[in-house]
Structure 1
Amino acid sequence: MFTSKSSVYKDGDAVIGGFFPLHTFITDSDINKPTETIYTQLKTKNYQYVLALVFAIEEINRNPYLLPNMSLGFDLYNVPYTQWMTLKSSLIWLTGLNKYVPNYTCRRQSKSVAALTGTSWATCAQIATLLGLYKFPQLTFGPFDPILSDNSQSLSLYQMAPKDTSLALGMISLILHFSWTWVGLVISDDHDGIQFLSDVTEAMERNRVCVAFLEMVPVTTVSYFTKAWSYHRQIRQSSADVVIIYGDADFLLGFTISIDQDSIIWKVWITTSQWVINTEKNNFLLDTFHGTLIFSHHHEEISGFKNFIETATPSKYPEDFYLAELWNSSFNCSISESHYETLETCPLNASLAWLPRNIMDMSMTDGSYNVYNAVYAVAQTLHEMMLQQVEMQPMWNVQGLTFAPWQLHPFLKNIQFNNPAGDQVNMDQKRKLDAEYDILNFWNFPEGLGYKVKVGHFSPYLPKDCQLSLTKDMIEWATGITQIPHSVCSESCNPGFRKSPQEGKASCCFDCTPCPENEISNDTADLDQCMKCADHQYANVERNQCLQKAVTFLGYEDPLGKSLACTALGFSVLTVLALGIFVKHRDTPIVKANNRVLSYVLLISLTFCFLCSLLFIGRPNTATCILQQTTFGMVFTVAVSTVLAKTITVVLAFKITAPGRRIRHLLVSGAPNAVIPICSLIQLTLCGIWLGTSPPFIDTDVHAEYAHIIIVCNKGSATAFYCVLGYLGSLALGSFTVAFLARNLPDTFNEAKFLTFSMVVFCSVWVTFLPVYHSTKGKVMVAVEVFSILASSAGLLGCIFAPKCYVILLRPDRNSLHGFRDKVHPGSNKPS
């Protein structure tokens, strides 16, 4: 119907050709029947391109300041789906004949100056192949395609649309705004789709958004509908509630039709302004695509365009058979038998404004806005050329214009102007700016009436935190969804947990694992690693907060410290009592026989050994830190060296009996007692070196106890500490060796055996001390050292002096010369 003419033509001094996809072929493959073309259908929404062209030309022709004394006309052609029909339209436009004779025109003088093409890359590239041979300027109104600009064969081609390099970033910003991390991708399998896939996946990886599924869909209609069920099954089965759809207008239309025919799939669809709904679908109240979010190029509203659409009628533009066809299909007009394209019985005052928005949008679409700017770009170019020719030579003659279309290129490629809406138009393809986007929300109403509502804006030129602005309260979601959809592979981990990746799955799929000891994860969800608390803090039970550690030490208030202090004082009192007993009974045989002086020295040193343990209890300070180890080392050295002196005395007393020998003289003169000052002097030297090089100091232990900072005394030089301890151990080992060798001597009151046993206890305590000391921390470490001091001191006190005090206090009969003789030689009245 209405196909007797090849084009819609309106004359002018300069004519702009327009190649618009106004008809589509409906084939059997589209409705699952035998393959052949059935009929053609007018793409109602695409007719707005024609309206935008006519509106711009009329606006320019009325403008006395732009192209004065010169009018613009147009020559409109339909661009069908097939490649051959596309070339056919362009050949007709070039030759003026329905017969295709290359390099020939029946027109006496062609007024054509430029061509507008779109919307797909394939259409533009095919027409550019032909028009490029004749250097005709070709202005495309479809989405910006980098290949069209980079192709050296498209030097005569100009793209009106801004660049879409920030489209992927805008979509991901929207996704992040709603905390969606599990998103599906349905993308056309062509070069434009592959470029978008690269951009969007890079943005997703950078922002930790995962691809739930990826479907690269063929752009050919037959291939798509043949495999549509497999693509839709993937979409239905995926747990992702958000799907990004990208492709040209034909691809997106095919996708929407196949989805509607297949089943209802409730998802949040994110797409571009190329998306259109299927106007032939059933009249669902709320369909599959209700709530779709659409990224559309931002532009100011063109004043007067809405009124122009409302007043456009077939009677106003009788040459436009496309408008007549639209009128016939929309208002059920009848056709005059005498005039095939004359409409009758149409409703009075019928207007395109009566049509639903999904059929005829009253606001200017992205493609129509590009058409509008393209017409003004041609007009501005002609205006510049006209001014230049006025300066050089008269411009008009009887033949009309004196320039050819190829002469427009030097002016057209550098033209830059502001359109009537105030938006800047830049024809330099290399300096084109990225687009800003309006975010539209598609609402579906009864009878399939669709409406797009602006709910947000995205601008790549603003600071990152301000690029996206959104009015969430205005957004309508898919049917049955009353709250913001939740599209994640795994639910966010609660505070106190961290993400643990699931093997073989995307990073957005994870398990939640409790944080390790002393690590937390706070209100920030989905952390890969928990944060370790500072040294002065510890994690609470929930592992979501670091608390301040309490300062502690082995104090007298502590039960352990109190017990050790009482034990030290108790043993100190016992030692003083033993000393008192020995002093009181100093003239008895048992005290005399055990070297009274050495016994006094040993008891006094043991008293200080018990008391020095108190230096380890209480809040450490500089003085106590220095005195702890040095006092311990010195008093124990005196005690052990005294035991060594006593042992040497016993050995000399029973091994050297010959009168007059020099060694006997040494024994009588008390020379063994010199061992004490000599050994103590060596230990004093070691302690002096220790204090002079790296003395002990106050330190804190933040790791020993979970919720406490323990104040301890750092030994400064560990080497010096172990030298002091090692020297003390050497003395103890020497004393044990000598005592062991003298254990069977007939010592008075078994002194040699008591010394041996005491050194066994002493060495056992300190040999056990080393591994236990190194396996403990904090207060326990200090307690272990205090316990070792008390245990070893108590061993000396108990093994050496307890038997003697027992004899003195409870067996006085044995503490006499007669008892001594009976003990040495039972039944004899004379000592041996």
Structure 2
Amino acid sequence: MKISHLLDKSDDGRSHTGALFFVVRDKNVGAPQISYGPFDPLLNDKVQYPYVYQLGSKESTLHLAFIQLMLHFEWTWVGLLLSANTKGETFFIDLKEEMAKNGLCVAIKERVPQNIGIKDSFYLLSRVIASSSNVIFIYGDSDSLQELSIVLNTYIPYGKLLVTTSSWDFSIDINFERFPIFHGTILFSHAQKEIPGFTDFVRNMNPVMNPEDIFLKAFWESVFNCRFSDKKDGQMFYPLCPGDFSFRDISFMKIDMVLMELIPNVYNAVYLVAHALHQMIHSEAKEASDLARNSNFFWKLHHFLKYINCATNDSDESCWNGTKPVAEAYDILNYKSFPDQVETLVKVGEVYPLAQRFTIKEEDIDWPEDFPQTPTSMCSVKCGPGFKKTSLKNQPICCFDCTPCPEEKISNQTDTEECLQCPEDQYPTKERDRCLPRTVTFLAYKEPLGMTLACVAVCFSLLTVLVLGIFVKHRDTPIVKANNHSLSYTLLVSLSLCFLCSLLFIGHPTTATCLLRQTTFAVVFTVAVSSILAKTITVVLAFRTTKPGSRLRRWLGSTASYSLIFACSLIQMCLCGIWLGTSPPFLEMDVHSEPGSIIIQCNEGSLLIFYCVLGYMALLALASFTVAFLARNLPDTFNEAKFLTFSMLVFCSVWISFLPSYQSSKGRATVALEVFAILTSSAGILTCIFAPKCFVILLRAEQNTLQILKRKATF
């Protein structure tokens, strides 16, 4: 038995470099074969290759490592160059599935054949260069990638960042005179434990000292581009190798690029066999003697190899039947090339795909010369705050338009798919990128407008009380008696309450004030207007009952007048009762009328009943105005029909102007307009009816006698 190196070829003609196997004389016994090269899915067929143990990693999570790199640098639009075989297609299926989950897109996907021609290479590179993606991921077997390296050296892909694996050996025979083509390339390499003393061992190797090692000789010639033999062959244009050359004289990266993936596997393969033999030797004595005589020795060795491999190598699918995920780790390398063909690989990060651990030092990365800073690769520019992504028809999800958020909505992050509604107590900024707290507003007493209206209301109410006091004090004078002092008292009291009820509209609204303010105003104002109507009818009837024994004299008493006031007020109270019983006013917060404000206001509930209440008061005022207007020219000194006509004219003018303004205003302006209408109409009635009488009572007392008034009436 001996251990040998194998260069095997599968049925499809592809070479599988890197295998250790046992040469056995007995053809009935399977010889264990240990592959230290890259993992090959074909060799994993246990029916065709039942005795093959692969120590190379399957790269089952490499696509996840690629995904994490894309997410870190936000490369959402990438191109793919894959070897045209099962390995490349399997990797693409896994990668595309994960890209779809993370919102990443493939700009182009091209297959790289093993024997690529000039025409195909030109088409391939033209597609890569024309692509809108700035990042190109390359994955496949070594043979395809090696030929791709030659193509890229001929057709330089300017403006593209290449991301690949350490399986691609592009560091040998590169033409540095034109352009450092692969400078800045990002590579993924399996994280390997450092073998103690291996670096010094390699640096001290020399084929002159080890002439029997034919593999070292071949590797030496490939690294130093020289030859040991003087025979005429294809290497005649290379110089002879000097004896004083050493691996210490070259960049160690050249050794790493070729051996970094294979050395740990060879190391593990040797130790795998050693541990398996060790377990067999230290088995029970009887079993050991049986093994020595048993021709089925390699069957036993298979058992121990499988056991040891399962315990130390998770990448062997025969152990876990492909159901156990592999906890692979990858180093992220940055290829750097300098003048005088100085090149190096620098570790800039590491990734554990299954654990989702990703670390990278961006400051240590040298990007290609076309990128002065970190490359970007996106189909569409990011949508900033205030905008949302709008997908384009028949386009990948990475290609979209940015549209502004609609009113009352915001987006405070980039690439938002849906805008968010601001809470009720907040409002969006003009940029629609955040929500700001709203200011609670209402017609407050502390504000200049509210304070002014409140002061005016109180002052006019006190003035009305003062007028009432004057009339009470001078109740026996002719001018007070002639104007039906009982109705004047009722009108003055109702006007004083009208001024005060406007205070219900000022201040922080509550449920109680919402229920009371319109109904109180309506009833009190109805009493005032009906009092004016009673006074107007009394004036007319007074001129109709000048003859003794007239039947109309019984309607001149206070009972008839108060009955009219009570009837008119009762109708208004019924309307208000229906209003409160069916659709009463309620407290609400208006967030739409004024941007940035929450207006606390009273909703009138049923607008129909509200306008019916106002319409009823308007009907009474119109009736009073009509009767007073017809009686304005009656010849009598005590006739106040003219004053009643003017008061109703002012009242109707104010409320006719109020209605359209009320409809067009919002928020606090609506409340202020209604308060202004109440104060103006009440002040108009007070001034037009009682100002002339108070002038005579206070300033022209000599005219407040029956003889003078009768004498004036005769002229």
**TM-score scaled by structure 1?**
0.68
Question: Are 2:601 and 2:667, in contact at CA under 8 Å, matched by a contact in 1?
Answer: no
1:644, 1:189 → 2: CA distance? Answer: 103
2:459, 2:497 → 1: CA distance? Answer: 13
Distance 1:362 1:685, change over 3 A: closer
- In structure 2, what is the equivalent of residue 365 of structure 1? 260
- In structure 1, what is the equivalent of residue 375 of structure 2? 485
2:47, 2:522 → 1: CA distance? Answer: 93
Question: Are 1:297 and 1:436, in contact at CA under 8 Å, matched by a contact in 2?
Answer: yes
- In structure 2, what is the equivalent of residue 251 of structure 1? 144
- In structure 2, what is the equivalent of residue 215 of structure 1? 109
- In structure 2, what is the equivalent of residue 185 of structure 1? 80
Question: Are 2:454 and 2:503, in contact at CA under 8 Å, matched by a contact in 1?
Answer: yes
Question: Are 1:589 and 1:817, in contact at CA under 8 Å, matched by a contact in 2?
Answer: no
SS in structure 2 at match of 1:113: coil
Structure 2 residue 589 is matched with structure 1 residue 671: no
Gaps of 5+ in 1: 1-12, 14-71, 97-104, 117-138, 823-832
**Residue number among 269, 279, 282 corresponding to 2:172 in the alignment:** 279
Report the Cα offset of residue 437 of structure 1. 0.9
Deviations 1:589-614 (A, max 9, x none): 77656544223322332232123323
Q: Where does 1:432-831 land on structure 2 (aligned, <5 Å)?
A: 433-462=326-355, 464=356, 467-479=357-369, 481-489=371-379, 492=382, 497-501=386-390, 503=392, 508=398, 524-528=413-417, 533-538=422-427, 546-565=435-454, 567-568=456-457, 572=461, 575=464, 594-618=483-507, 628-646=517-535, 649=538, 665-668=554-557, 670-680=559-569, 701-710=590-599, 712=600, 714=602, 718-719=605-606, 723=609, 726-727=612-613, 729-734=615-620, 736-737=622-623, 740=626, 744=630, 748=634, 762=651, 765-766=654-655, 769=658, 772-773=661-662, 775-794=664-683, 796-797=685-686, 816-817=709-710
Deviations 1:97-145 (A, max 9, x none): xxxxxxxx9x6769871335xxxxxxxxxxxxxxxxxxxxxx4732464
Distance 1:686 1:154, change over 3 A: farther
- Give the counterpart letter for 2:260 in structure 1: T
- In structure 2, what is the equivalent of residue 142 of structure 1? 38
Report the Cα offset of residue 724 of structure 1. 6.7
2:314, 2:93 → 1: CA distance? Answer: 29
Report the Cα offset of residue 474 of structure 1. 2.1
Aligned residues: 698
Distance 1:221 1:541, change over 3 A: same
Question: Are 2:593 and 2:667, in contact at CA under 8 Å, matched by a contact in 1?
Answer: yes
Distance 1:656 1:732, change over 3 A: farther
Question: Are 1:553 and 1:618, in contact at CA under 8 Å, matched by a contact in 2?
Answer: yes
1:184, 1:475 → 2: CA distance? Answer: 21
SS in structure 2 at match of 1:718: coil
- Give the counterpart letter for 1:470 in structure 2: I
Question: Are 1:389 and 1:395, in contact at CA under 8 Å, matched by a contact in 2?
Answer: no
- In structure 1, what is the equivalent of residue 6 of structure 2? 76
- Give the counterpart letter for 1:729 in structure 2: G
Question: Are 2:226 and 2:239, in contact at CA under 8 Å, matched by a contact in 1?
Answer: no
2:194, 2:615 → 1: CA distance? Answer: 97
- In structure 1, what is the equivalent of residue 67 of structure 2? 172
Q: Where does 1:269-418 land on structure 2 (aligned, <5 Å)?
A: 269-277=162-170, 279-284=172-177, 287-310=180-203, 314=207, 321-328=214-221, 330=224, 332-335=226-229, 346-352=241-247, 354=249, 356-357=251-252, 359-361=254-256, 364-377=259-272, 380=275, 387=283, 391=287, 394-397=290-293, 402-403=295-296, 412-416=305-309
Report the Cα offset of residue 200 of structure 1. 3.2
Question: Are 2:61 and 2:354, in contact at CA under 8 Å, matched by a contact in 1?
Answer: no
Report the Cα offset of residue 517 of structure 1. 5.8
C-alpha root-mean-square deviation of aligned residues, in Å? 5.1
2:156, 2:258 → 1: CA distance? Answer: 31
Gaps of 5+ in 2: none
Deviations 1:754-797 (A, max 9, x none): 76776676566556656644554332222122123224334544
Compare 808-817 and 192-201 and name the one that shifted more.
808-817
SS in structure 1 at match of 2:109: strand
Question: Are 2:658 and 2:677, in contact at CA under 8 Å, matched by a contact in 1?
Answer: yes
Question: Are 1:357 and 1:450, in contact at CA under 8 Å, matched by a contact in 2?
Answer: no
Question: Are 1:742 and 1:752, in contact at CA under 8 Å, matched by a contact in 2?
Answer: yes
1:340, 1:807 → 2: CA distance? Answer: 138
1:360, 1:404 → 2: CA distance? Answer: 38
Question: Are 2:533 and 2:623, in contact at CA under 8 Å, matched by a contact in 1?
Answer: no
Distance 1:218 1:819, change over 3 A: farther
Question: Are 2:386 and 2:431, in contact at CA under 8 Å, matched by a contact in 1?
Answer: no
Report the Cα offset of residue 190 of structure 1. 3.9
Question: Are 2:84 and 2:114, in contact at CA under 8 Å, matched by a contact in 1?
Answer: no
2:239, 2:598 → 1: CA distance? Answer: 97
